Amino acid sequence: MRGPLNIILEDYDVSPVHGFLPHELPLQGLNSYYDDWEEAVRVLPANFARKTYRSKLDKLTVLSTSRLHTKGEWQRAYVLLTFMTHGYIWGGELPAEILPPCISIPILVVAERLGIPPTATAASLCLYNFKTSAPDLLTQPESLTTLHTFTGTRDEEWFYLVSTAIEARGAPIIPTMLKAMDAVRADNASVVTRSLQEFIVCVSDINALIERMYEECKPEVFYHEIRPALAGSKNMAAAGLLRGVFYDEGYGKGEWRQYSGGSNAQSSTIQFLDLVLGIRHFPTKIPGEEPREKDSFHKEMRDYMPGGHRRFLEIIQQVANIREYAQACALGEEITIAYNDAVISLSKLRDNHIRLVTRYIVMPARKSSANAMTGGLNLAVVSSGKNDVLSGTGGTQLIPFLKQSRDETKGTAIN
């Protein structure tokens, strides 16, 4: 019998109440010194649609980050600057290869402060990008409002809000599963079993939230209008970004950078669910090809999470013990049944995700010519036109990745 893990959530910017969402609601504005940033994002949807956004940003001066003090202010700055970044790159007839100093200089500082890449991520799109008048109803997307979008559509807002609600619903399972891991160390099978049963309910509720995506986010709008704005600068040679994007820091300084786009694979909640069950993922296998990645896409996506969340998940990966504990019990015992049911619930979630991706990406892609460019926006939608090698906004081979993730989840069951 060993003592408890004594993991303090706040040490990793994880809220005991809201999980990976901020403990305090996101700020809706910065002090007046940053009015130019606030205005630039306010007018983004209208100018993005007209492909005139770049000219607006080219007039901005470089603002110092020295007037950002609180955690909420740094997070707010990150939201504004990442929307400006993607708006600038994709807000023209052709993608921009050079990000000007008025964006590059401050976003590099802000991103380093938060331990996260200087590009749009699930954090800037969902975690820090909502408001509500009902803080007790964060799990209900209709009670939330998105602060900013690229397109100004309800579809884009709803896409973010469902993702935010999923993070909120996953929040209570974090302390529950930490208690379960402590219970393993204390050889308390009944607590572990109850925790796994709560895990199953949580995943079932998340599945129900995924189903709600269909209510107010239309697949054609997502594919042709929203998805291009979320695209990154990695593996985007076909769109014109041969070397990625040059982050110009002025006076001859700067660096070519390549980043994956905003993706729900960057959800810390979903990765936490994987890790506590001991599910392992590997580099995506494409038939007839060697794996392109050194690490699994899941692990790569951790680099796109806030620094504290990434460190938390790394700790969880090291101390996860539930699968080994259940495996040591006899088949048919309550704990092994609960563990396998938990694995099944998570594999159902991945089946649901595959259906979602099929409806929002694969089917619209079938209707579009492989080389078609609708109004220039689809320069960002890099696809070979073959359904089994469509790319996600995160830059991975989409369908093989999702199916392999599902199969790896199922394979974790104790038999």
Q: Specify whether the CB–CB gap between 297 and 234 falls below 8 A.
A: no
Query: Which has more confidence, 378 or 195?
Result: 195
Is 353 annotated as belonging to a binding site?
yes
pLDDT tens digits, one per residue of 364-390 = 988 875 445 444 445 445 533 343 345
Rounded mean pLDDT of the chain? 91
Measure the CA–CA gap between 311 and 155, rounded to whole angstroms.
Answer: 33
Q: Return the sign of the alpha-carbon dihedral for residues 324, 329, 331, 335.
A: negative
What pLDDT score was predicted for residue 89?
97
Question: 395: pLDDT confidence band, cut at 50, 70 and 90?
Answer: very low
Say yes or no to pLDDT of 351 above 90. Answer: yes
What pLDDT score was predicted for residue 373?
47
Say yes or no to pLDDT of 32 above 90. Answer: yes
Q: Which residues contact 124 (CB under 8 A, 6 or more apart)?
A: 78, 79, 82, 83, 262
What pLDDT score was predicted for residue 296?
82
The predicted model scores a pTM of: 0.92
Q: Specify whether the CB–CB gap between 158 and 137 falls below 8 A.
A: no
The position carrying tokens 């929002």 is: 360
What pLDDT score was predicted for residue 369?
54
What pLDDT score was predicted for residue 290?
60
Q: Which residues contact 328 (CB under 8 A, 6 or more apart)?
A: none
Question: 263: pLDDT confidence band, cut at 50, 70 and 90?
Answer: confident
pLDDT tens digits, one per residue of 295-342 = 688 889 999 999 999 999 999 999 999 999 999 987 779 999 999 999
Question: 293: pLDDT confidence band, cut at 50, 70 and 90?
Answer: low
What pLDDT score was predicted for residue 143?
98
Strands 130-132 and 144-146, by their bridges, are antiparallel
Specify which of 63-67, 293-297, 355-359 reaches the highest per-range mean pLDDT: 63-67
Q: Output the six-digit token pair for 334.
A: 């309550």
The listed CATH number (3.60.20.30, 1.10.240.10, 1.20.58.480, 2.60.40.1180) that belongs to domain 10-410: 1.20.58.480
Say yes or no to pLDDT of 261 above 80. Answer: yes
Domain ranges for the chain, please list them: 10-410
What pLDDT score was predicted for residue 412?
95
Say yes or no to pLDDT of 398 above 80. Answer: no
Strands 245-250 and 144-146, by their bridges, are unpaired
Q: Which residues contact 59 (CB under 8 A, 6 or more apart)?
A: none
User: Of 4-18, 58-72, 365-379, which range is least confident?
Assistant: 365-379
